[in-house]
Chain A
Amino acid sequence: MMGRGTAVGSRSGMASDRSGYGRQRAARQRLEVISGHLGRQEASGACEGRQADDVHRNAVPRRRQDVLKWNGWGFRDSKFLFNKKGLAELTGKRYQLSGTLMPGLKDWFEGTFGANLQHRSPAVPALNPSVVPPPNLHAAFVEALKEATIPCTHEPEDRVFHSHGHCLHEIFALREGKIGRVPDLVVWPGCHADVVRIVELACQHNVCLIPYGGGTSVSSALQCPLEESRCIISVDTSQMNRILWIDEKNLTAHVEAGIIGQDLERLLREHGYCTGHEPDSMEFSSLGGWVATRASGMKKNVYGNIEDLVVHIKMVTPCGVMEKSCQGPRISAGPDIHHFILGSEGTLGVVTEVTLKIRPFPEYRKYGSVVFPSFEQGVSCLREVAKQRCAPASIRLMDNAQFHFGHALRPQTSMFMSFLDGLKKFYITKFKGFDPQRLCVATLLFEGDQNHVLNQEQQVYDIAAQFGGLAAGEDNGQRGYLLTFIIAYLRDLGMEYYVIGESFETSVPWDRVLDLCRNVKERIERECKDRGVQFPPLSTCRVTQIYDAGACVYFYFAFNYRGLSDPMRLYEQVEHSAREEILASGGSLSHHHGVGKLRKQWMQETISKVGLGMLRSVKEHLDPQNIFGNRNLL
């Protein structure tokens, strides 16, 4: 899964009690400005331009726990389970795969992990509010917030929801009903001006702010530092979710940073545009979160990563508001201050508004897939595609283990279809001599105008053929991308049966891709063995992004922890070793997940002592009181 940044919800009906009816008409007019007229929101007092209708336009509400799981991934109505016949099924109606039966998953699951559907490790059924520590409220600050009519709460459910991201250890603890340090207060600013006010008050009263976007962090970035004794306030940006204007002449859009990916794309689509920024977490992660973590989207080959998409950023810091004075496409005026913000992980301030590049919605989209006899040949092909700079919007290469995993998720099909599949399998393994234990699959997604796509497709398949690749059809490709959004749900299924897992990523120069993949996978297997994991773990990888000078590699690691006394500790040790191995093999600390608190220990060796000092001095200048005290990164 790609970049789980931070995300947002929208306000519920009872929420904003302060946008007076009088303003509504002006607001509606303002919404019309979206189609290109300039309309800049004054940074004064309350939020203009809000509409009660907004409520229905957002996929996630203010009270997140109404729609989202409190102790797992995604929507409450969607989860994997094994039915009475042992067939896997995704409940609900949200996803294309919802309701389809997957007969292969059980065997794969039991065979891969040595797990057994009889052995269950269920989560505690519900959050027990009495285990949530009472809030350490700063009375004067709360009072001032109320005066400013900015909604806030200290309900235990909300506080717990804002106390974590989606790291394995965070979810594992919730499933066991263990609650650690949680924010004392959750506040929902409705616009830039609200944030300015909140930060002013925080400085005045010396409380700690932790910005919260979509809550999809996987770097322990949202965890409250144990050593923080001040009142901790989670600043949930989900109510700042409007597109403020669209500039069709320059193809940019000015958007509030709390908007979540799927809402942003849906709203732009209504005007015939898209950003094309699609991290795997886009259902939940927010624009501000993307900026704060240097997120990467699946289709970056066409649209670019977040740093390529951003034209202008507005951020509220304890020193004041930081932004540039113009929207020139490139500026030579000292180091780019945007790059202090991109990847700052909530340590410097709150990103409130962002101007993004937009593109006309693509006229044509086509999936594809290629089977290679081996992972080595697959990587060589991707390298060549990068060299010829003809990469489709997305190209991903799965290793053999992931190929088998993908296979296990195939829906139940008709006799005829499985007969066809059998024929294909026969052709590839017997006729072409591919070893089923070595072959691997690349999935492709082409986007753009039809002619261009078709030419590009030809070029990519020609290159693939040079490396022994066989075209394996559009269906396989499409299914690969459908799985993108449901894969995180599968972790929750594993956790029901003593299987825990996590993914992590890196970026690495081309010539080291294979070495790194092999070394890291092997390190994981050996570390597990040395630490007494009975059944060999699932240790698998895929290449998810390609660049001129290297690639992004994504690892999945999961194992059966039944009978182990402290699985989380073991898990953390293995993940730590895996990261050491990545760094020793020439990989980076992170391609897009960020550092948070999970990978902080490696920051100095990653950017040098001097580099760390530079970042520290920025932090000290902007935030001497450490108001933004999540202690990420530094």
Chain B
Amino acid sequence: MDSSAQYLMLSRREDFRDILEERRTSSDLSHALKSFTRMSSRASPPCSVSTLNKTVLESQHLHYIMQEVSKDTGEPLEAIREEAAGILEEMSQNLQLGYIRFLGFILSKVFKRLFRKINVNEEGLQRLQQAMQESPVVLMPNHRSYVDFLVLSYLLFTYDLSIPVIAAGIPLMGMQLIGEILRRSGAFFIRRSIGTDKLYWAVLSEYVKTILRKDFAPVEFYVEGLRSRTLKSLPPKLGMMHMVLEPFFKGEVYDISLVPISISYDRVVEESLLAYEILGVPKPKETTMGLLKARKVMDEDYGNMHVCFGHPLSVRDLAKGKVNRKQYNLIPRDLPMKPSESIHAFANTTAHLVLRLQQDNMVLSPWSLMATILMQNLGGINLKLLTKQTVWLKWLVLDFGALVDWPVQVADSEVMSSGLSLHHSVVRCEGDQVLLAEQKPQRGAAPEEAVFRRAVAVLMCASYRNQALHVLASPAMLSVALSLAAASSRADIYNLYAFLREMFYNEFIFIPDRTGQDFEEACSLLQKCGTVQIINQNIMVTDKGLSVTSFLTAAVEPFIDAYQVIFRYICSRSVQEFTEKQFISGIRTFTLNLILTGEVKSYDVLSSETQKNALASLVRLNALTKKKREEQTYFSPNKAAIGRTADILAGKIAPQARTYSRL
């Protein structure tokens, strides 16, 4: 068994402890001023920020790139060197314990106000401490809220662990004062679109690698690249991933520990913005004033937050047998080198593995289970029925191995009403009926306006459903495959499952090259809860299992519908090629009309995330060709292939047979 499989099988039982409890009873000031000893016992003594930056600027790698750039542009080397120094200055963190203390004090106040509890698995922190003593550590949290940004530093400070340096988007730096405070709390800033700026890439990667080589501090970054507006995992970005792995491949450090961290919110602070962003209304620019205006969010209750520190992954373990480190033996390690195929595949698989482990350790709130049921009853649902179905779903996801924050010794009805009241911005009760809380459009507004307002309400609810979706995704793919398959043969069903997995690869984040194992796992999950029977290479849904498969199918139906609409749209257009921008605005109008006529019920198709994921899937399936011209990406469709894909998804034809790896 390879080591990634071992990591996936590690126990997920975690005990959480509320760290705010102590903050509510003892002084925040003395917490902020407590003695802090960096618990890192390894080799070299810590170096200063200025030494770190000097090392970066004087590195052979940067020197080499600067010469190259100077040759390309004809500018003197000295000018390039200054440019590099400028980039580094803009980027560099300036971690100071004083600011961490200051921030610790402020955050104690803020967190107590926002959250009922911040639950942390202390065992995970112990494992982290151990990992920090053994090798450089990379903290890899999921990213659902701005609150993520400093909560880890706050926790590590509280538990006397090394404060991380954090990769942040450059817009944050633009915020007056805040930017500087963040910088001194360990943030370093990365431009959003680096593109092909060789020098920038070189400074950034040398900076990150030097921090790891010197074990200056743990590095924290979001492998998803961005805050997820859908509250679903985003497909990983590999740029930073490559940077943090390389020091190991090149033997510059013995090992690197990757620590997946799952941050789960009962209620996300910026929830009201999410739907707008997804619908393509640009998010407010990050400004200090904006933050101050957002102060009214401080008066709201955001329930519990869970931070779960996963098992540290040893890159050395993961790379065993997959990456031959000798490939670096024949070229000076400072020379820029395009990652080989094996390195690239390893970075990709590892990033997916981290995402998957993040998902595994997410703590589901009763509310996100409710939202999942609500999404299947958008017209409203009786509270009793909602309660019954939510409780049923709780048992199902527990069977599937999820962590659920369902209070013990509290009546289910109370859990329900607590969830509903916490999320008054999303749902309301009218008598026994539970309905989405949508703003009524102004009188005389266009019908499109009504659709838009409806969409905002639905997508907000969908976001909370999305928090639970990863638990259901694989069994749901299997359920869909079972419903589409013409026969019950295992091979047919596997084919469909694999096809769906490819189709929704970016939507639900599957680990590459694990189709066989994931299929087996999905089968055994459904078998375990009595949903399917497997007899003689046939997979059959049992009578009582029908409710489960139809529920699971319904859970992912909005996505299937959305993809079908998108396929239809692309096929209906006569143009040979289009840009992403053209596509997004076109599909919006197209869908609006379909929703107005009542032909389409899925609002997920309006989500720009879903639209982009669908494009990416078509590219993966070779039904869409992606071309770059003059800094612009163009897509040209293969309509026949898209039509075939749509037909398979509709159950009209069977997908091409593929070899079943684990039969």
Contacts and interface: CB of A to CB of B under 8 A. Distances in A.
Q: Do A and B come from one complex?
A: yes
Interface of A: 374, 376, 511-512, 515-516, 518-519, 522-523, 583-586, 605
Interface string B389-419: 0000000000000000000000000000000
8 shortest A-B CB distances, which residue pairs? Answer: A584-B325, A585-B251, A522-B254, A515-B251, A586-B329, A519-B254, A515-B252, A519-B251
A520 B468 CA distance: 45
Contacts, number: 29
B622 to A, nearest CB: 37
B620 interface: no
Interface in B26-60: 43-44
Given A515-B252, A518-B254, A522-B254, A585 B332 contact: no
Contacts of A583: 326
A217 to B, nearest CB: 27
B333 interface: yes
Contacts of B324: 584
B64 interface: no
Given A511-B334, A518-B254, 16 more contacts: A376-B44, A511-B332, A512-B333, A515-B250, A515-B251, A515-B252, A516-B251, A518-B43, A519-B251, A519-B254, A522-B254, A583-B326, A585-B325, A586-B251, A586-B326, A586-B328
B163 to A, nearest CB: 25
Contacts of B250: 515
Contacts of A605: 326
A374 B44 CA distance: 9
A516 B333 CA distance: 13
A523 B254 contact: yes
A584 B254 contact: no
Interface residues of B, number: 14
A523 B252 CA distance: 14
A380 to B, nearest CB: 14
Contacts of B329: 586
Contacts of A523: 254
A14 B254 CA distance: 58
A330 to B, nearest CB: 28
A585 B329 CA distance: 7
Contacts of B252: 515
Contacts of B332: 511
A512 B328 CA distance: 11
A376 B44 CA distance: 10
A586 B324 CA distance: 12
Interface in B233-252: 250-252
A512 B251 contact: yes
A511 B333 contact: yes
A374 B43 CA distance: 10
Nearest to B247: A515
Interface string B304-337: 0000000000000000000011101100111000
A584 B333 contact: no
A100 to B, nearest CB: 35
Nearest to A375: B43
A334 to B, nearest CB: 27
A-side interface mostly: helix
A467 to B, nearest CB: 15
Interface of B: 43-44, 250-252, 254, 324-326, 328-329, 332-334
11 contacts: A374-B44, A512-B251, A512-B333, A515-B252, A522-B254, A523-B254, A584-B324, A584-B325, A585-B325, A586-B251, A586-B328
A607 to B, nearest CB: 13
A586 B334 CA distance: 14
Nearest to B334: A511
Nearest to B250: A515
Nearest to A583: B326
Contacts of A376: 44
A582 to B, nearest CB: 10
B319 to A, nearest CB: 10
Contacts of A586: 251, 326, 328-329
A512 B252 CA distance: 8
A21 to B, nearest CB: 62
Contacts of B328: 586
Contacts of B44: 374, 376
Contacts of B333: 511-512
Nearest to A522: B254
A75 B44 CA distance: 43
Contacts of A585: 251, 325
Most chain A beta carbons < 10 A, residue from B251, B324, B325: B251
A435 to B, nearest CB: 8
Nearest to A515: B251
Nearest to B325: A584
A434 to B, nearest CB: 13
Contacts of B325: 584-585
Nearest to B332: A511
Nearest to B249: A584
A625 to B, nearest CB: 36
Contacts of A374: 44
Nearest to A523: B254
Most chain A beta carbons < 10 A, residue from B254, B324, B325, B332: B254
Contacts of B254: 518-519, 522-523
A523 B251 CA distance: 12
A67 to B, nearest CB: 45
Contacts of B43: 518
A521 to B, nearest CB: 9
A603 to B, nearest CB: 14
A613 to B, nearest CB: 20
Contacts of A518: 43, 254
Contacts of A522: 254
A584 B321 CA distance: 12
A633 to B, nearest CB: 21
Nearest to A585: B251
A208 to B, nearest CB: 35
B24 to A, nearest CB: 42
A348 to B, nearest CB: 29
Contacts of A584: 251, 324-326
A341 to B, nearest CB: 28
Nearest to B327: A584
B129 to A, nearest CB: 18
A376 B251 CA distance: 16
A194 B44 CA distance: 60
A605 B326 CA distance: 10
A436 to B, nearest CB: 14
Contacts of B251: 512, 515-516, 519, 584-586
A512 B325 CA distance: 13
Nearest to A605: B326
Nearest to A376: B44
A376 B329 CA distance: 21
A137 B318 CA distance: 54
A303 to B, nearest CB: 30
A437 to B, nearest CB: 10
B417 to A, nearest CB: 52
A522 B252 CA distance: 13
Contacts of A512: 251, 333
A376 B214 CA distance: 13
A583 B333 CA distance: 15
Nearest to B60: A511
A575 B333 CA distance: 26
A585 B252 CA distance: 9
Contacts of A516: 251
A511 B457 CA distance: 60
Contacts of A515: 250-252
A585 B254 CA distance: 10
A376 B213 CA distance: 14
A511 B334 CA distance: 10
A429 to B, nearest CB: 15
B362 to A, nearest CB: 31
Nearest to B328: A586
A510 to B, nearest CB: 11
A191 to B, nearest CB: 45
